[in-house]
A and B are shown apart, each in its own frame.
Chain A
Amino acid sequence: QVQLQESGPGLVKPSETLSLTCTVSGYSFSSGYYWGWIRQPPGKGLEWIGTIYHTGSTYYNPSLKSRVTISVDTSKNQFSLKLSSVTAADTAVYYCARSAAAMYYIDVWGKGTTVTVSS
């Protein structure tokens, strides 16, 4: 059974870069599927950040595209998120997720990790 686990710092200073990693277990990362990031600010709804295929093809939310980089390390069954120039508005629970296509419904979610932007 596929499982996703987010990891990374829980606290990031304003203007710095937020970095998170998602480790995929129970599934061969290179066998297919698309892998992405979604976030949820406290008490608010869900926002798609971006998606990557194991080949490295990426798809980003236009509203975040200038600050987002998603990359993949197939040897470690991991993919990562970098969000630059963060502000308090980037404080959220960050979920990694799996979908069958780049712009598709999400069938597997990680448990989520809370990232707070504060000095």
Chain B
Amino acid sequence: EIVLTQSPGTLSLSPGERATLSCRVSQSISSSYLAWYQQKPDQAPRLLIYGASYRATGIPDRFSGSGSGTDFTLTISRLEPADFAVYYCQHYGTSLTFGGGTKVEI
């Protein structure tokens, strides 16, 4: 079973700062099969990134994804007030599993 571990659990930053979120996978995976989602309170998750680095439709370019093998990163270059939320990584392909999430708070 593939396990995704996200760190840190909580990231406290200010608007305008850079956010770097980590997703570590328990075994090496193809970078084609890693996605990132944003979830705000009382809302469904929203797809941000798929294939580790491809932005979904309508996602601003301040969001970027990178990584390979077992280590993946979501970077938000300059935080805007709307970006404070919980972020989840997801592995897909052979199974469908989510990380535990990182909360980005002000």
Q: Which residues of A contact B (CB under 8 A)?
A: 45-48, 51, 61, 95, 99, 103-107, 109-112
Q: Which parts of B38-76 form the interface with A (CB within 8 Å)?
A: 43-47, 50, 56
Smallest CB gap from A96: residue in B = B44
Taken together as a complex, chains A and B put the C-alpha atoms of A99 and B92 apart, in Å, by: 11
Q: Are A48 and B97 touching (Cβ within 8 A)?
A: yes
Contact partners of B96 in chain A: CB under 8 A: 48, 51, 61, 103-104
Residue B84, interface by CB 8 Å: no
Taken together as a complex, chains A and B put the C-alpha atoms of A22 and B52 apart, in Å, by: 29
Contact partners of B44 in chain A: CB under 8 A: 95, 109-112
Count of inter-chain pairs, beta carbons less than 8 A:
45
Contact partners of A46 in chain B: CB under 8 A: 45, 88, 90, 98
Interface residues on chain B, number (Cβ under 8 Å):
21
Q: Are B98 and A107 touching (Cβ within 8 A)?
A: no
Closest Cβ–Cβ distance, residue A5 to chain B (whole Å): 12
Closest Cβ–Cβ distance, residue A105 to chain B (whole Å): 4
Asked whether A45 and B101 contact (CB < 8 A) given A105-B50, A109-B46, the answer is yes
Smallest CB gap from A99: residue in B = B92
Taken together as a complex, chains A and B put the C-alpha atoms of A61 and B99 apart, in Å, by: 16
Contact partners of A109 in chain B: CB under 8 A: 44-46
Which of the residues A47, A99, A111 comes within 8 Å of B98, measured between beta carbons?
A: A47
Q: List 23 A-B contacts (CB under 8 A).
A: A45-B98, A45-B100, A45-B101, A46-B45, A46-B88, A46-B90, A48-B96, A48-B97, A51-B96, A61-B96, A95-B44, A103-B92, A103-B93, A103-B94, A103-B95, A104-B92, A104-B96, A105-B35, A105-B50, A107-B47, A109-B45, A111-B43, A112-B44
